[in-house]
Structures are given as C-alpha cells and as structure tokens.
Amino acid sequence: MTRDLTGRTSVVIGGTSGMGRAVVDALLAAGSTVVTTSRDPEGSSAAADLKAAGVRLVRADVTTPDGLDELVEAVPTVDHLVLSAAGLTYRPFRDFPASDAAGTVDGKLLGYWNAVHRLAPALSEHASVVLFSGVASVRPGPGTAAVTAANAGVEGLGRSLAVELAPVRVNVLNPGVFETASWAHMEEKEREEFYAETASSLPVGRIGQPEDAADAVLFLLTNPQVTGTVLDLDGGARLV
Ligand SMILES: NC(=O)c1ccc[n+]([C@@H]2O[C@H](COP(=O)([O-])OP(=O)(O)OC[C@H]3O[C@@H](n4cnc5c(N)ncnc54)[C@H](OP(=O)(O)O)[C@@H]3O)[C@@H](O)[C@H]2O)c1
C-alpha cells in the first residue's frame, strides 16, 4: 500500500502536541504538504520546530463559530484532514450539571462537527478524514460521563459522515492511554505510576506512544477500502 502523499495537502487540527504532532511528522515523512493549527500560534512552544520542518501553523479554535476562519482561508483544497484536538472535563456525574458538560461536548464532538462542516467545501474528491475518539467511549470509568458521551458521539459522527460525504472516506481512531501532554496536569510521580499501572493492566503490557497513533492514522488516511470504521488502538483496554 503506497503511503506516498507527495502533492497532497493535509490539515491536522491539534498538531502542536501529542498524537497530532506525531501525525504531522508522519505526513511530512510521506511527502505531504502539512498545515496544522493552534489556538495561540505565536505563543505555541511547538511553533519554531513546526516552522523549521516546513509546516504552516495557522490559528484555529474548533469551539467557536469564527474560530476556523483563518484556516478555511489558508487551505482552499484539503486532501487529508485529521482532528485530534480535545478540551475535556472529567468530573463525578452527580456534581456535573449539563451546563458544565457542554464545554466537553463543544470541545470535542461539536468542535469536530464545526471543523468538518467548515472544511467540507474544500475536501477534494479523493479526500479522507480521521477523527479521534477515545477508549472511554466503550470503557467508561467514574467521572468520564461527558468524555464518554462526546467520544461515543464522535464515533457516530464518523459513521454518519462516511455515508453523507462519500466518496470522501471518514474514519475514527479510538486511542486508549497514550503518553502525551493530556496527562500533564498530574504530578510526575503520580503520572508515572498511572502509566505503569495502566501498562500492566493491558494485554499488550505497554501504553501507547504518539508514533503508534500516527502509524494508524496514516493507514486510515491512505487505505482506499476503509470508511466508517472505528479503529481501536487501546492495547486491549476494552477487553479487560
Ligand atoms: N492521550 C491519551 O491518553 C488519550 C486517550 C484517549 C483519547 N485521546 C484523544 O486523542 C486526541 C489527541 O490527544 P493527545 O493526548 O495527543 O492531545 P494533546 O497532547 O493534549 O494535544 C491536544 C491538541 O489539541 C489542540 N486543541 C485543544 N483544544 C483545541 C481547540 N478548542 N481548538 C483547536 N485545537 C485545540 C491543542 O493545540 P493548542 O493548545 O496549540 O491550541 C493540541 O495541539 C484527543 O482527541 C484526545 O481526546 C487521548
């Protein structure tokens, strides 16, 4: 299967960090022109590295109606679109009114809706789209109600868009625990213990690395027969 994306334009919304950043690197290695985004392109610590790699960094915030104006203007044609952005809140359900949960739904499900909707006119006929969900969609824990609902919604959205935007292919990557800045809010010791405990609980005996996700995204973006799929990349978390 060829992964030569020379001449293609790829957009990664959420490419300044974590799995999105690894996707940017994989797309560059495949020869694609890459545009990625930040809510604060001037202040982003990734800006210099991205620029040095030849990546265009554009301001975008998926949660606001005009937050995608600069990106829409910057990319008249999109061959590959990846949405890895997320703004999520974990909180016990009994202390979590719907009005507070709306931020998580906006940060992910409606944010992705907004981004695909705004960029749909730019998608080329052979375009492909990958949306990120998360293992809480099928393996919820205490405090994950909003995250579970948003991620399950993303998976449904992906199936729906695979039908409605055809022949554009739309797929969802469902990661388990990956070593990224998502866990930076934890103290280092607590985080290392969490990683170690999670790894030992998984059939594969390890947590995910951003490059694992990038490899899976490239598969979903380039395989011409895959659409409407949710690819579980969770080390078996949903089984144990
Ligand atoms: N890491 C995990 O263990 C894990 C597990 C399950 C699912 N996931 C999912 O996998 C995806 C990637 O996670 P990650 O851990 O790699 O992410 P991350 O390192 O936390 O990076 C998040 C990225 O999203 C961007 N972003 C955040 N809010 C945004 C908004 N409103 N509009 C546009 N961009 C926004 C950030 O860019 P700026 O700050 O520069 O704007 C950043 O590039 C997410 O959807 C997450 O829910 C992750």
Nearest Cα to Cα of residue 62 among 79, 47, 78, 83: 83
What integer is the mean pLDDT of 36-59?
96
- What's the pLDDT band for 2 if we cut at 50, 70, 90? low
Segments making up each domain of the chain, as ranges = 9-228
| Residue 217 in this model has a pLDDT that exceeds 90 | yes
> Phi and psi dihedrals of 49, rounded to 5?
-60, -45
pLDDT at 237: 97
What integer is the mean pLDDT of 49-74?
96
Summarize pLDDT for 118-151 with one digit per residue, the tens: 999 999 989 999 999 999 999 999 999 999 999 9
**CB distance 154 to ligand 1 below 6 Å:** no
pLDDT at 72: 98
Nearest-angstrom CA–CA distance, 37 and 117: 17
Q: Which residues pair with 173 in a beta bridge?
A: 132, 231
Q: What is the mean pLDDT of the chain?
A: 97
Percentage helix, strand, coil for the chain under 3-state DSSP, each rounded to 5: 45, 20, 35
Ligand 1 geometric centre to CA of 1 (Å): 29
| Residue 231 in this model has a pLDDT that exceeds 90 | yes
Summarize pLDDT for 93-111 with one digit per residue, the tens: 999 999 999 999 999 999 9
Which residue has its alpha carbon closest to ligand 1 atom 47?
Answer: 86
- What's the pLDDT band for 3 if we cut at 50, 70, 90? confident
- What's the pLDDT band for 58 if we cut at 50, 70, 90? very high
pLDDT at 154: 98
Pocket test for ligand 1, best of 11, 13, 19, 131 (most atoms within 8 A of CB): 19
Candidates 2.40.160.40, 3.30.365.10, 3.40.50.720, 1.10.1370.30; correct CATH number of 9-228?
A: 3.40.50.720
What integer is the mean pLDDT of 78-89?
96
Nearest-angstrom CA–CA distance, 139 and 148: 8
Write the DSSP assignment of 89-126 as a string of letters: ----GGG--HHHHHHHHIIIIIHHHHHHHHHGGGEEEE
Which residue has its alpha carbon closest to ligand 1 atom 6?
Answer: 134
Summarize pLDDT for 144-196 with one digit per residue, the tens: 999 999 999 999 999 999 999 999 999 999 999 999 999 999 999 999 999 99
**CB distance 235 to ligand 1 below 6 Å:** no
Residue with tokens 């449904």: 156
In this structure, are residues 78 and 72 in contact, taking their beta carbons and an 8 Å threshold? no
Nearest-angstrom CA–CA distance, 184 and 117: 31
Which atom in ligand 1 lies closest to the alpha carbon of residue 36? 43
pLDDT at 130: 99
Long-range pairs for 198-201: beta carbons < 8 A, 24 or more residues apart: 201/237, 201/240
> Phi and psi dihedrals of 56, rounded to 5?
-85, 130
pTM score, whole prediction: 0.98
